[in-house]
Each structure stands twice: as C-alpha cells, then as structure tokens.
Amino acid sequence: MQTNEMKALVKAHAREGLWMQSAPVPEIGPDDVLIRINATGICGTDIHIWNWDDWAAKTVPVPLITGHEFAGEIVELGRNVTDLEIGQRCSGEGHLIGKTSRQSRAGKFHLDPATRGIGVNEPGAFAEYLRLPAFNVVPLPEEIPDEIGAILDPLGNAVHTALSFDLVGEDVLITGAGPIGIMAAAVARHVGARHVVITDVNPDRLALAEKVADVVPVNVTRQDLSETVSDLGMKQGFDVGLEMSGNQRALDQMVEAMTMGGRIAMLGIPPGKSPVDWSRIVFKAITIKGVYGREIFETWYKMIAMLQNGLDVSQVITHRFPVDDFEQGFEVMRSGRSGKVVLDWRQP
C-alpha cells in the first residue's frame, strides 16, 4: 500500500557522497504518471554528482533526489492521461523538454534548448517513486526485463551514436570501452558492420567488451592501432569512428586511423578545451557529428526493436545490489573495473 513517504538517494550536502533519506512521495499533475521504481542504473553522471566535481557543483541544486536510469511500473495516472495503464511496466526518457522552441515545434525534441534532466536539474529516479510526464514514458515489452529497462537510457546513447551513420559493411573504430562504448560495439555488429575495433587503456573494460560483443579489443598502451588495421586487411583505415572516451589523444588517434572521407560521431565529452589539429580533419575530408542524449523517441523505438530482434547487452551489467547497499554499488562503479551497476529497489 502506498504511503506518503518514500526512501530516496539524495544529494543532501554540497560534498562527496549521496544520502539515503525519507522524502515525500511526489504529487502528480494532470499530464503526469507516478512510477514505482523497480531498478535503477548508476551512470557516469551519477559518479560526477557523487564526487561533487566542478561540473556537479555548478549544475546540481542541493538538495536533490538524483538518478535518471530506471525501470518500474505505473501506479497512478494524471486525469488527462488516457494512453497508459495502471500496472504497466515502463522506462522513460529523462530529458524533460519544453514545447515552444523551434526545435520542439519541428519534432526535434532532443535538441530543445530548454531541456532539463531528471536527477540532474529535477527530482530523479533514485527513489521508490518517480513523477514523470506521460509524454516521457516508454512502455516496456514483456521480453525486456527490468534490469535491461533500467539501462535503456545509456543504451540509447550508444544507439544514437552508432546509428549516426550507415554502418552496413563498414569498418568501425570505437574509442572508449566504457559501458556505452561497449554497447555501441554490440549495436554496430548487430546492424551489419564488418570489423569493429574498440580501444582503451583499461584491460578490464577491454575484456568485458570482448565478452559482450564480437569486437577486436586494442589496448593502446601495449598495441599499435596501425598494426590492427593492417592485420584486418583494412588498406585505407576506418570508415566510421565512434568517440566515446572524451580523451583528446583518443580523438587524435581516431582521426589518423580514418579513411579519406571518414565520418566520426562524438559522444565523449573532453574536460575543458582541447587542442584540435583541424588541418588533418580538413585534408582528410572528415565529417564530425556531435551527439547528445537520444533522439526522442526514434532512438527508443529502434533500440527496443533491436532488443526484440536479438541484440543482447545483458552481459554489460556486471554488478547488481539491493538499494540499501548503494554505497557498495557506487564504490564498484567508481573503481573503473565494472560494467553497468544496477540497484534493485524492490522490497524483499
């Protein structure tokens, strides 16, 4: 039976950490739903908030319930909501958009400049209950379990980035073997890329990439990427690059490894300003696309269809904890030696 109080992970103080606290169950408006949370994923953004780095200190109001990767079920409907049902399992788009910008009015919702994020700017999903606009709800098919539903947000980042360019028959380089880079590798193989190479300096992440997807892992501290290109018989380099690391050296290596006229999609965010050798990009006629979030809702349709049609990213989840052990979950995620970490909010 629903009460008026719930437990929630709160950024309660402007310092390192999150705190489990009691909070009021959100009240929904006429166009909202109330979702009982079953599972949440820990994101790199959540690690920034836990660490309370410069970005978090400038961005996140205190106190705030954090978290934005989730799966759950609808327990209450606003009076204007007619296309969803009580008891329906769902995930949801965590970007809360405006409706008046040119981008939104053109249906390019992911480009709306008024976007606010749950768990970053607005109360989030690290709680027993979440209020979410019905517009943002994504119903979950029965064959997608809650723990996969809880990582659809980062999978959407991977899908949006990977599908930025045609991959069929192409040779693809991915820089950064974090969970999103690994899932992008799985997507690239699923849609028909020929060779997929993923680079990193973390041997644990590279081993996980090889476990999750049919890829060639390259530790750039020990291997020369050009040798891998030669071994694979790629005479001119990679056709498509997916930059997931936010590391300037990785981007430089990618540019050098691209074929003439190659295409690069960038999801990784470099810290601060980075020097770029634009002459190499110009003379190689390289196209670079910046990627933010997910295409609302085209990315969701595509990734759910791929999951229903054989895409398997389940092994990217390496750790599962009951939510009361959240500190252990964050410790594992902060170590850099895990894939996705999922917190279970269901009561035993």
> Taking the CA of residue 114 as centre, how many other CA atoms within 13 Å lie in the half-sphere pointing to its CB?
9
* Cα 130 to Cα 118: distance, rounded to the nearest angstrom: 9
Instruction: Check: CB of residue 151 under 8 Å from CB of residue 313.
Output: yes
Report the chain (348 residues): mean pLDDT per 10 consecutive residues. Answer: 85 98 97 98 96 95 98 98 97 96 95 96 98 98 97 98 98 97 98 97 96 96 93 93 94 96 95 88 97 95 98 97 98 94 90
* Cα 300 to Cα 127: distance, rounded to the nearest angstrom: 23
Whose tokens are 């209450």? That residue is 76
* Cα 162 to Cα 267: distance, rounded to the nearest angstrom: 10
Topology agreement, domain 5-151+313-344 and domain 158-290: no
Superfamily of 5-151+313-344 according to CATH: Medium-chain alcohol dehydrogenases, catalytic domain (3.90.180.10)
Q: How many CB atoms lie within 10 A of CB 75?
A: 16
* Cα 47 to Cα 340: distance, rounded to the nearest angstrom: 12
Q: What is the pLDDT of residues 202-247, one digit of tens each?
A: 999 999 999 999 999 999 999 999 999 999 999 899 999 999 999 9
Active site residue 48: yes
CATH fold of 158-290, please?
Answer: Rossmann fold (3.40.50)
Determine which one of 3, 13, 40, 48 is catalytic. 48
Determine which one of 3, 40, 45, 190 is catalytic. 45
Check residue 235 and give its pLDDT: 84
Q: How many CB atoms lie within 10 A of CB 121?
A: 15
Domain residues of the chain, as ranges? 5-151+313-344, 158-290
Any residues with CB less than 8 A from the CB of 301 and at least 6 apart, and which?
none
* Cα 261 to Cα 239: distance, rounded to the nearest angstrom: 8
Instruction: Check: CB of residue 315 under 8 Å from CB of residue 211.
Output: yes
Active site residue 40: no
Rounded to the nearest 5 percent, the helix, strand and coil shares of the chain are: 30, 30, 40
Check residue 209 and give its pLDDT: 97
| C-alpha separations of 236 from 25, 229, 258 in Å | 58, 9, 8
Whose tokens are 């041997």? That residue is 203
Among 8, 144, 130, residue whose Cα is nearest residue 76: 130
Q: How many CB atoms lie within 10 A of CB 192?
A: 11
Among 78, 85, 97, residue whose Cα is nearest residue 136: 97
Handedness of CA 143, 147, 150, 156 (dihedral sign): negative
Any residues with CB less than 8 A from the CB of 233 and at least 6 apart, and which?
none
Check residue 348 and give its pLDDT: 65
Q: How many CB atoms lie within 10 A of CB 169?
A: 9
Q: What is the pLDDT of residues 125-169, one digit of tens each?
A: 999 999 999 999 999 999 999 999 999 999 999 999 999 999 999
Among 229, 93, 110, 113, residue whose Cα is nearest residue 171: 229
